[in-house]
Amino acid sequence: MAAPTDVGRRLSDAGGPSTAGGSSTASTVPSPAPEGSDRAADPGSRPGPHKVVVLALDGVYPFELGIPHRVLGSAEGRYEVLSASVDGRPVRTSSDLTVTPGHGPEALAEADTVVIPPYPISRASAAAPDPRALAALSRVRPGTRLVSICAGAFLLAAAGFLDGRRATTHWALSDWFRELFPRVELDAGVLFVDHGDVLTSAGAASGIDICLHLVRRDHGSEVANRVARLCVAPPYRDGGQAQYIERTLPHASGTGTGPTRDWALQRLELPLSLNDLAAHAAMSTRTFARRFQEETGLSPGRWLTQQRLRRARHLLESSDLPVERVAHEVGFATATSLRRHLAEEAGVVPSAYRRTFRASRR
């Protein structure tokens, strides 16, 4: 099979969508349609509703498969949403059910927007996607808008549509994505990226975010807000997927700086300095900092900040402590310092983080 970037060139040479055009917008708030796009379909340029075709691939996740139908289908008749499979036959989903799309790949040739929901990804399947899926994409005409949800970005990347562009996918798949598609500028911290003609989104619920964004971009905030209310969903979400990323750090060992890390974890509320850590390890500050970096991949200061943020996130999720008390408990000098560090890491302030992760306990 050809390299991923060659596939996209073949599709363009055969009359399929090109990879040119579009300004890059990564956002979770209302924004106008990007300028400079030469592929994005204009919802008002053709009579009748804007035709959206959702391509169901083998193993498709049912929840994400249904999002475009539910969200775009609630936009007061402005969209006609259809489903298609790569061969016109039923598709086995990731659950214990099979779906029968109403159309085959020929529907993509008539689409104004094509949406690719996620399907199970492995290293092998990501590097060599189903040839039938690539053949289906070759039917897409110039001017068609392409949208991926979660792992659907892997198919767009394999077809060459994301080369030289900024894109996103589920944060847990980011290492594989970067390894396979080095020509794509992956941003795993946002909910979606809008290039005008090609849009990519993160996992699961971000499919709702990007579909509401399409409505907002095509028809304005008033229509999008009505759709959001019908779907009982927020019109847009604060922050990005960075607040959902599970960050793992190396476990402490019984040698090197490991015992000092264990010691520090029991004293995060204290203003620990590099001198304090090095003295506990019975090392010079230079030797300690070098060994710490070798063992954890982080500087001692950065490691302490990450550990304090992990503790702070836990307290915000599991307790009703005021933000000022949380900051004190984890070793930040002030609540302002906690807000700044959490906003840098997760894209949200403590109060917004708590609302997100404690909503079910109200």
pLDDT at position 289, please? 93
d(CA 265, CA 283): 19
Q: 193 and 185 in contact (C-beta within 8 Å)?
A: no
Mapped onto helix, strand or coil, the DSSP state of residue 199 is strand
Helices (H), the chain: 4-13, 62-72, 123-127, 131-137, 152-158, 174-180, 206-219, 221-230, 258-265, 274-281, 285-296, 300-318, 323-330, 335-346, 350-358
- Length of the chain measured in residues: 362
- State the CB neighbour count (10 A cutoff) for residue 315: 19
pLDDT at position 215, please? 94
Residues near 298 by beta carbon (within 8 Å), at least 6 away in sequence: 249, 292, 306
Q: 28 and 56 in contact (C-beta within 8 Å)?
A: no
- Distance from the first to the final alpha carbon of the chain: 53
pLDDT at position 94, please? 95
d(CA 48, CA 60): 29
**What are residue 97's phi and psi, to 5 degrees?**
-150, 160
d(CA 336, CA 322): 13
pLDDT tens per residue, the chain (362 residues)? Answer: 333 334 443 343 333 433 333 333 344 333 333 433 444 555 555 668 999 999 999 999 999 999 999 999 999 999 999 999 999 999 999 999 999 999 999 999 999 999 999 999 888 888 788 999 999 999 999 989 999 999 999 999 999 999 999 999 998 898 899 999 999 999 887 888 998 899 999 988 889 999 999 999 999 988 998 998 899 887 766 555 555 555 544 444 455 888 998 899 889 999 999 999 999 999 999 999 998 888 877 899 999 998 899 889 889 988 889 999 999 999 999 999 999 998 887 788 999 888 877 654 44
What residues form DSSP beta bridges with 146? Answer: 114, 198
pLDDT at position 48, please? 83
275's tokens = 């001198």
Residues near 24 by beta carbon (within 8 Å), at least 6 away in sequence: 34, 165, 166, 193, 194, 195
d(CA 262, CA 252): 7
pLDDT at position 242, please? 54
Tokens 């795993």 correspond to 188
pLDDT at position 298, please? 81
d(CA 18, CA 14): 10
Residue 286 burial (C-beta neighbours within 10 Å; 0-12, 13-18, 19+): exposed
pLDDT at position 297, please? 78
